[in-house]
Structure 1
């Protein structure tokens, strides 16, 4: 806890120790940004809990179709070993055996699906991804979707809006306030409803507090989750940025943990 609030990091990437540093370097090169940490689970827990984080939503997207099973097995093992971790598995929409991959994900009792269109090189609204969305929608599990990129429009908010129209019961968390670097477009295109939520990850360092408050007001504090995007940002610094927003006590409690608890509770019924 910090400042009297229970805190969940709703967006944390983790990797097996033997590849964590290499994987984190790859993310750093992809975004041309330095990483604060190295992507190891123990490091996340040590630094996050020292900063006051109580719970972590962990994930790791598969950049190739062959990685899906091993990543999901790793994430399930982390959730089993650490009760303070909730794990979202991964799928790749272009896998020939996506149905088998999804069956494995469910058998491992993973709580959702993490997709990263820019890492995985697919447009969100590619019809080839529709069978995957249909399976996920039928299961009731939520997707944590990376949103926004300066170099491509694979994860542009307009593509997500298209998918949401095609799949009216698909439950989804639009990361980075719905579009990293495309916050104005996300604000104009995306509207919260009973199935669409937003996280704060990788947004607080780039936008002034007044712009963050406008996004929270537009999407509704009841629809937003606090996320750090480990290993990218420092936990203490991200929490300092969040509390500097000057939100109400109720908004803080909702965004820092209560909203995600409720959203995942619905998913796990």
Structure 2
């Protein structure tokens, strides 16, 4: 079973607004309209069997609606695995985690930059303790802002990993969007997962190859970051940029299945 570990899909009432916000923030014209139907069509055309869909609550009040959306995607679309989300100011985290577990949700997405906190905010430490051994955690990492001023840099993720060795971390964007030299310094080679999303368009060949060859292959997961990029196009680009063998490519596309099977439901 092949997976795209990093995608997004939005409620049809707000998809067009989110697409406009993404283009304004990143300066990248999205390749899709953000609807789940468009994502699944593009994934199928690219030979991807399953997609993992992420959302992030930008306020405590959005936690329940965002997680309802994730639960509904899991329920209504057999090819979708959805991660829930949390916010450090949400007051009832443990009951919400129990609700997500009961629905078969495998993971939690945190996007510190969009959600308005720092990954070294100690309010997160009790949350990471609750998540350890129960959910995989997808962390957005990096931005054009230098690490010391950025909410989510590789060094902060490495500190979380040190303090919570049983927490399954996926550091998005090859360990840090535009922070790849710091990812090499702080994250690459450790037993955290990384994904390939929103990387191939921007990273130079030498850095890309250094990350790939220094990190455990079974912890490098294919991700596209749809609707910013097309899963099929990114699949071809990954293979060509790194000169991957069939076996290497198969591992990047399938390793997420084993990870998801540990939490919630895989397959």
TM-score by length of 1: 0.91
**Is 1:141 aligned to 2:135, yes or no?**
yes
Q: Aligned to 2:21, which of 23, 26, 29?
A: 26
In the alignment, what sits opposite 2:218? Answer: 222
User: Paired residue for 1:51?
Assistant: 46
Preserved CA contact (<8 Å) 2:3 2:48: yes
Is this contact kept in 1: 2:73–2:80, CA < 8 A?
yes
**Which of these residues, 220, 243, 247, is aligned with residue 246 of structure 1?**
243
After TM superposition, the structure 1 stretch with the greater mean CA deviation from structure 2, 29-38 or 95-104, is: 95-104
Distance 1:153 1:62 in 2: 19
Matched, 1:161 2:123: no
Q: Is the 8 A contact 1:69 1:104 kept in 2?
A: no
Unaligned runs of 5+ in 2: none
Per-residue CA shift, 1:121-145, capped at 9, x if unaligned? 11112101111111111x4211011
How far did 1:202 drift? 0.3
Match of 1:207 among 203, 210, 214: 203
Maintained 8 Å contact 2:158/2:186: yes
Which stretches in structure 1 are left out of the alignment for 5+ residues?
1-5
Looking at structure 2, the residues matched to 248 and 236 of structure 1 have their Cα atoms a distance apart, in angstroms, of 17
- 1:128 paired residue number: 123
CA root-mean-square deviation: 1.7
Q: Is the 8 A contact 1:12 1:59 kept in 2?
A: yes
Secondary structure of 2:63 counterpart: helix
Preserved CA contact (<8 Å) 1:12 1:56: yes
Query: Do the aligned partners of 1:134 and 1:167 also contact (CA within 8 Å) in 2?
Result: yes
SS at match of 1:168: coil
The answer (yes or no) to whether the contact 1:63–1:120 under 8 Å persists in 2 is yes
Native 8 Å contact 1:192 1:223 kept in 2: no
SS of 2:34 mapped into structure 1 = coil
Contact 2:12 2:35 in 1 (8 A): yes
The farther-off stretch of 184-193 and 205-214 is 205-214
Deviation at 1:251, TM superposition (A): 1.1
Residues 8, 53 of structure 1: 8 Å contact kept:
yes
Distance in 2 separating the partners of 1:209 and 1:256: 21
The higher relative CO (CA closer than 8 Å, separation ≥ 6) is in 2
- Looking at structure 2, the residues matched to 45 and 79 of structure 1 have their Cα atoms a distance apart, in angstroms, of 13
Distance 1:27 1:201, change over 3 A: same
Q: The residue matched to 2:201 in structure 1 has which SS?
A: coil
Once the two structures are TM-superposed, the CA of residue 19 in structure 1 deviates from its matched residue by 0.8
TM-score, normalization by structure 2: 0.92
Aligned residues of 2:101 and 2:264 also touching (Cα < 8 A) = no
